[in-house]
Amino acid sequence: MNVTYQIPGRAPDNDRDEVSRYWRERFPEEPYYAEGEHYEEYEPAYLAGHEARVRNFEQAYEQVEAEVRQRWEADKGSQSLAWSKARHAVRRAWEQAEHWGRETG
């Protein structure tokens, strides 16, 4: 019997892969995209937004944005993307996560 471990508050790895594929395709069309930016810079922000929605499905984004920002600042490590840029991708992924599965699968 093969049971996969699910980290609480984190989307399953197959969801993470799908989230990455979804946003990789759409990233250049987002209003916050600037010429020369790379998806890889924004990928952690998309995943953070999606996973925040998984953890806080019943709450409005405005209720959790401060917590999401704190996590971003604490966990971003060597990521160079500042919150002022990441927040747009986080918010878009949060919004899309509400519809996940209906529009993506």
Q: Is residue 66 part of a domain?
A: no
Q: Which residues contact 96 (CB under 8 A, 6 or more apart)?
A: 22, 50, 103
State which residues form the domain around 43. 13-61+73-97
Scan for tokens 């704190």, then name that residue.
70
Is it the case that residue 4 has pLDDT exceeding 70?
no
Copy the structure tokens of residue 50. 């999606």
Question: pTM of the full predicted structure?
Answer: 0.80
Q: Is residue 1 part of a domain?
A: no
Q: Is residue 4 part of a domain?
A: no
Is it the case that residue 5 has pLDDT exceeding 50?
no
pLDDT at site 85: 92
